[in-house]
Structure 1
Amino acid sequence: MKLDFTYENPTKIYFGRTAMDGLKTELAKYGKTIMLAYGKGAIKKIGVYDQVLDICKSLGKTVVELSGVMPNPTYEKVMEGCRLVKENNVDLILAVGGGSVIDCAKAISVSTYCEGDAWQRYFTNFEPVDNKLVAVASILTMAGTGSEMNSGAVITNEDLKIKMGRVFDANVNPRFSILNPEYTFSVSKYQMLSGIFDMMSHLMEAYFAGDDNGTSSYIIEGLLRSIIDSTRVAVVNPEDYEARSNLMWCSSLAMNPLAGLGKAQDWEVHMIEHQLGAYTDCAHGMGLAAISIPYYRYVSQFGLDKFVRFAREVWHINEEGMTKEQLAKAGIDALEQFIKESGMVTRLRDLNATEEMLPLIANSTLLMGGYKQMTTQEILDILKKAY
């Protein structure tokens, strides 16, 4: 482990078919008013909404609802939530849904009692949060972001055409999260696959940087192999409990953020996709899938040994007779084949991107990079190859 780190994760996890049994115990620890945040109503179809209301009623809780949280939550929606929290003196925000709902809840938590413009202070200037927080908890219905077990939040400012992520201190983590893999069965194949590539991308962002041989790299390789194997099962049978439970737990482990400790990281693929999402409102994981192959083909020359290791340890490619360059290429080709065989998106044009958007996306992307510090022109070239 080459880099020093401090690690804290205060989220309590209830995992499995009986996970909801923990909700009553946990809600009893909080005050009278709960804000229930959710999306377009899918939680009503699978019965989770009624379960939550029944438990709240049994505890004498008052429930305030923030419905309609969108897949790429907007700052306007965050402000709507902030108003509800203040008006009703909310004690706990219970986010029920996927990562977008949980991200929105965290943004509401830090923004409600902020003095001044929360977007400017916390998502532009990255100032420390110095105001009262509202406790957050979650019930997960879609695996992918890992938001159920971390302090990150990604929010889109539609007026500015900026999608920005922020990792806050651990006190913004959900206090507890309920993870029942059966709740993910109702998610469409498209959204399941989007979440799967999101968790893979979280791991690859941490993997493809630095020259370490630390424990984190071994953890990442194992998680990637688990995701690949479980995806192949889940694509054929979306209700295979073991496969979906593996994917749900891999999602949490990929971004909690255990897997990236003690090593350099990249995150440029995410930075590009965030701005793609700001312009197209596309599914996050699908945007990552379309961008990753041309990005990794370009940067592999600057981090050749790690891409060789990726081919060897993740994809088990027979390297006999291959040069390092050929082996690295074979690993990226294997990733591309996995994307295609799973049914993930491979082209930006299939995500409502237009050629006219590409320079705008490149110009607004936060420049980062692991093996190569990117330039705006390099980002544009990658976008064109992904288009």
Structure 2
Amino acid sequence: MLGNFRYSNPTKLYFGKDSLDNLKGELSAYGANILLVYGGGSIKKNGLYEDILRILSDCGKNVAEVSGVMPNPTVEKLYEGCKAAKEHQTDLILAVGGGSVCDYAKAVSVSAYCEEDPWEKYYLRMEDVDNRIIPVGCILTMVGTGSEMNGGAVITNHESKLKIGHVFGDNVFPKFSVLNPVYTFTLPKYQMTAGFYDIMSHILEQYFSGTDDNTSDYIAEGLLKSLIHSTRIAVKDPENYEARSNIMWIATWALNTLIAQGKSTDWMVHMIGQAVGAYTDATHGMTLSAVSMAYYRYICPYGLDKFRRFAVNVWEVNPEGKTAEAVAEEGLIRMESYMRDLGLVMNLSELGVTQEMLPGISEATFFMNGGYKALTREEVLKILQESI
């Protein structure tokens, strides 16, 4: 492995069917005022909301709520959460939901006591936190983002057509997260499979970078093989606990910073996908799946050795008697077939993107330089055109 790095992850995880039993013990470390944040109300239908309120009441907590956190949390919703957090003098933000709710909670945690506009400070200027941070705990109901064990927080500004993620330091990581795979069983198939691809994309963004013999790449390949195996089971049997538990654990390790160590990392699929999301408000994982194949075929010649390795080690392509180009392409063909089998969105038009939007999406794309090809604005536009 090349380079120097510091690794720390302070988040405590409780995993399994009985993981919620640990919430009471965690709550004892915080003050009386809890801000409960959640999404569209599915937690009220499955009984989780009542279970959590019962625990909070037993612990003598004063609870305020911010509900209706959308899949792509907006800057307006962020301001609403900041107001609620300050008025309630919040001691702990408890996020119950998927990655968007966890992202939102972290954004509120750093923004509530920010003396400037948090959108300007954290999302446009990308500055570090220098004010009071409200602790966050998470109870996960959807997998994909890894937000339960990282410092990422993505916010959308529809007025400026920007969707931006800020990866904060470990002082913003959730203090604890509750991971019960059963809570993911009732998720609609579209959201479930979008989350599956978000996991895969996270791993690939880190894998497709660097040329050294890197331990992180071996870990990534193992995560990918486990993910492919378990997701094939889960799409046919969504309540298969073994498959869903494996997927939940893979999602956490895909983006808790472990496999980024010693890597430059790419992230251009996410940058393009987030720009698509800013224009369409489409489900995040599907914006990634819609542009991935065009992107990877475009950069493959620049990272041919890694793409060949990907084909052989992940997709089990037999390389004998074949050129590196042929092996790499066969790997991408198998990946594309797998994606179609999951029912993922494979082109931008399915998300409502039109030809007229493409220049704007290209302009809204942020550029990262850690992958095998530093793209130009014109190349991003070409990839978008290939994806539509």
Deviation, 1:47, is 1.0
Q: Show the counterpart of 1:170.
A: 170
Q: Show the counterpart of 1:6.
A: 6
Deviation, 1:114, is 0.6
Cα distance in 1 between the residues matched to 2:9 and 2:203? 18
Cα distance in 2 between the residues matched to 1:303 and 1:137? 39
Deviation, 1:39, is 0.3
Q: Show the counterpart of 1:73.
A: 73
Q: Show the counterpart of 1:287.
A: 287
Contact 1:110 1:133 in 2 (8 A): yes
Cα distance in 2 between the residues matched to 1:210 and 1:131? 36
Name the SS for the 2:120 alignment partner.
helix
Cα distance in 1 between the residues matched to 2:197 and 2:42? 22
Q: Show the counterpart of 1:48.
A: 48
Q: Deviations over 1:42-101 (max 9, x none)?
A: 011111100110001111111100000000001110110000011110110000000000
Aligned length: 387
Q: Deviations over 1:155-202 (max 9, x none)?
A: 101111100001101010110000000000010111110001001000
RMSD: 0.7
Query: Which amino acid is the alignment partner of residue 276 of structure 1?
Result: V
Cα distance in 2 between the residues matched to 1:3 and 1:294? 31
Query: Which amino acid is the alignment partner of residue 322 of structure 1?
Result: K
Q: Show the counterpart of 2:90.
A: 90
Q: Does 1:260 align with 2:256?
A: no
Contact 1:212 1:263 in 2 (8 A): no
Q: Deviations over 1:127-174 (max 9, x none)?
A: 111000001010000000000000111110111110000110101011
Could you tell me the percent identity over the aligned residues?
Answer: 55
Q: List aligned pairs for 1:1-387, cutoff 5 A.
A: 1-369=1-369, 370-387=371-388
Cα distance in 2 between the residues matched to 1:263 and 1:159? 35
Cα distance in 1 between the residues matched to 2:59 and 2:158? 39
Cα distance in 1 between the residues matched to 2:237 and 2:74? 34
Q: TM-score, normalised by structure 1?
A: 0.99
Query: Which amino acid is the alignment partner of residue 379 of structure 1?
Result: V
Contact 1:146 1:256 in 2 (8 A): yes
Cα distance in 2 between the residues matched to 1:303 and 1:243? 32
Name the SS for the 1:170 alignment partner.
coil
Q: Deviations over 1:279-303 (max 9, x none)?
A: 0001111111111100000000001
Cα distance in 2 between the residues matched to 1:151 and 1:203? 17
Contact 1:15 1:178 in 2 (8 A): yes
Name the SS for the 2:155 alignment partner.
strand
Deviation, 1:354, is 1.4
Cα distance in 2 between the residues matched to 1:264 and 1:116? 32
Deviation, 1:368, is 2.0
Contact 1:123 1:165 in 2 (8 A): yes
Deviation, 1:317, is 0.6
Cα distance in 2 between the residues matched to 1:28 and 1:329? 54
Cα distance in 1 between the residues matched to 2:184 and 2:108? 25
Cα distance in 1 between the residues matched to 2:255 and 2:307? 21
Deviation, 1:260, is 1.4
Query: Which amino acid is the alignment partner of residue 387 of structure 2?
Result: A
Deviation, 1:3, is 2.2
Name the SS for the 1:172 alignment partner.
coil
Q: TM-score, normalised by structure 2?
A: 0.99
